[in-house]
Each structure stands twice: as C-alpha cells, then as structure tokens.
Amino acid sequence: MEKLAAECQSAGYPGTLIPYKCDLSNEEEILSMFSAIKTLHQGVDVCINNAGLARPEPLLSGKTEGWRTMIDVNVMAVSICTREAYQSMKERSIDDGHIININSMNGHSVVPQSVVHFYSATKYAVTALTEGLRQELREAKTHIRATCLKAEDMANAVIYVLSAPPHVQIGDIQMRPTEQIS
C-alpha cells in the first residue's frame, strides 16, 4: 500500500492515500480507525478493503477457530469497513466515492485443494457482498461505486478504476497470469 500511495502521488492523482494499521478481527479497532480518519481527514472518500487471510482448515477436518478467524477478517471486516466508509461518505454528501474490495481468484473458482475450500467460501462471500453493495448503492440512488479486484496485479487495476469518470461503474476485473490455464 505504501508503494501504491507513492505511485498515486507521483502520477498526480488528487487526494491522499493513507495506509492505516488495524486489527481487522476486532470491530472496536475498525471503528476507532474510522473515527481517527474522520478526525484527521474529515472522512473517507475511497475505501480499499485489502486484508485477507487463509488458514489450512479443510471442511471435513478443520478447526472452528480457524474458520471463524477467516470469516472475521475476510467477510466481517470487509462488511464493517464498507458500512463505515459508506456512512462517512453519506454524512458528507460524497456522491462520487469508491469502495474497492481486493479479492482473490479463489472468490471465483474453487481449486482442488481441501485446505483452501473454506478460504474460497469466504472469498466467494466477498464477491457476493460486492455485488450486493452495488445493488444497495443503486437503490440508495448514489453514484458511489463498488469494485471487486483480484489481488494479482492489482495496483494497476486500482489506479485504472479510480481514474474512471464518475459515470463509469467498473464492477469487476479478473486478471490472471498469461500462462494460467483457467
């Protein structure tokens, strides 16, 4: 994120990208982070949900604690950050904000490795949450945009998405190495 912040600044994009460290499995820390952002910068115009983790916990033999940790970080934190970012934008009448969820190819296909099946489920949830968010934003009659990107090669995609004109909604971008079969 530090590199992306530097690239955005050197490219002359308006605004400031400020990475912030927070335990995303703890809602109080998330709320504290948004409070600090409000105090220091009036609020959020762009939210990039980038955190995610995988635990080797198969469905047939995995530990509940590992599953819960993946849900807390990969699903709940994304949802809480999304809600708080939207509320921040709404409070300040920001109608051209953006919420970007950095996802994984596992959010679009299940690989034949039992240790990642539950992780894949959490990433499919991110895909569904992003589409649901797009629908809710449309129902709210706002021009705030929601995009789901895969982690692979995402820095260029984030810059591309953020530079799109306000009337353009880039909903999903899938990127994979040219050598990858599927």
CATH of the domain at 124: 3.40.50.720
**What are the two backbone dihedrals, phi and then psi, of residue 63, each rounded to the nearest 5 degrees?**
-90, 135
| Structural domain includes residue 139 | yes
Cβ neighbors of 97 (< 8 A, separation 6 or more) are 44, 45, 46, 47, 85, 86, 89, 144, 145
Helix, strand, coil distribution of the chain in percent, nearest 5: 50, 10, 40
Residue-level pLDDT at 175 = 63
Segments of 18-97 assigned E as strands: 46-49
Which of these, 15, 182, 175, lies nearest to 94 by C-alpha position? 15
pLDDT in tens, 41-76: 999 999 999 889 999 999 999 999 999 999 999 999
In a domain, 119, yes or no: yes
Whether residue 172 lies inside any domain: the answer is: no
Look up 124 and say whether it is catalytic. Answer: no
- Residue 66: domain span: 45-163
Mean pLDDT of 33-42: 94
Query: Does residue 168 lie within any of the structural domains?
Result: no
**Residue 1 covered by a domain:** no
Please, what is the Cα angle at 50 between 78 and 150, to 5 degrees? Answer: 105
Average pLDDT of span 102-118: 87
Residue 46 and residue 144: Cα distance in Å, rounded?
A: 9
Among 13, 119, 124, 160, which one carries the catalytic annotation? 119
pLDDT of 107 = 82
Q: In this predicted structure, what is the pLDDT of residue 122?
A: 96
∠ CA 29-32-38, rounded to 5°: 145
Look up tokens 């449309």; give the residue. Answer: 138
Q: Which residues on neighbouring strands pair with residue 47, listed in sequence order?
A: 99
For residue 90, is pLDDT > 70? yes
pTM for this prediction: 0.79
| pLDDT at residue number 153 | 59
In a domain, 11, yes or no: no
pLDDT higher than threshold 90 for residue 124:
yes
Reported confidence tier of residue 178, pLDDT bands at 50, 70, 90: very low
pLDDT band of 154, cuts 50, 70, 90: low
> Is 149 within the bounds of a domain?
yes
Q: Is residue 23 part of a domain?
A: no
23 pLDDT exceeds 60? yes
Q: What is the number of domains present in the chain?
A: 1
When comparing pLDDT for 2 and 179, which is higher?
2
Q: Which amino acid is at 142?
A: T
